[in-house]
C-alpha cells in the first residue's frame, strides 16, 4: 500500500482526536452498501424464514449453540 508521503506527514501532525475523527470518516466512506448484495441477502432471509415456517429447517436452542463455543 502506498500513501503519498505528503498526506501521511500532514495526517501524522494532527492531534490524536483529529486523527481518530479522520479514521472514522475514512472507515465510514468504505461502508457503502451494495444494493445487489442487500437484495440477495433479503431474498435469502425470506427463503430461510419460509423454510422455517414450513418446518424444513431444524433449530437449536441458544444454549446448545453457545455450549459448542465455550
Locate the domains of the chain by residue range.
1-32, 34-70
**SS3 for 53?**
helix
pLDDT digit string (tens) for the chain, length 70 residues: 577 889 999 999 999 999 999 999 999 998 888 899 999 999 999 999 999 999 999 899 999 999 989 8
- Angstrom CA distances, 6 to 1, 15, 17, 18, stand at 15, 17, 20, 17
Q: Is the pTM of this model over 0.75?
A: no
- Contact yes or no for 15/23 (Cβ under 8 A): no
Q: What pLDDT, on a 0 to 100 scale, did the predictor assign at position 4? A: 87
What secondary structure letter does DSSP report for 55? T
- Contact yes or no for 23/32 (Cβ under 8 A): no
Q: What pLDDT, on a 0 to 100 scale, did the predictor assign at position 2? A: 74
Q: What pLDDT, on a 0 to 100 scale, did the predictor assign at position 3? A: 74
Q: What pLDDT, on a 0 to 100 scale, did the predictor assign at position 1? A: 54
Amino acid at each position: 500500500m502506498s500513501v503519498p508521503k505528503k498526506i501521511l506527514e500532514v495526517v501524522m501532525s494532527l492531534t490524536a482526536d483529529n486523527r481518530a475523527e479522520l479514521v472514522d470518516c475514512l472507515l465510514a466512506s468504505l461502508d457503502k452498501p451494495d444494493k445487489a448484495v442487500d437484495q440477495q441477502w433479503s431474498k435469502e432471509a425470506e427463503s430461510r424464514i419460509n423454510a422455517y415456517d414450513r418446518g424444513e429447517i431444524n433449530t437449536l436452542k441458544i444454549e446448545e449453540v453457545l455450549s459448542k463455543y465455550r
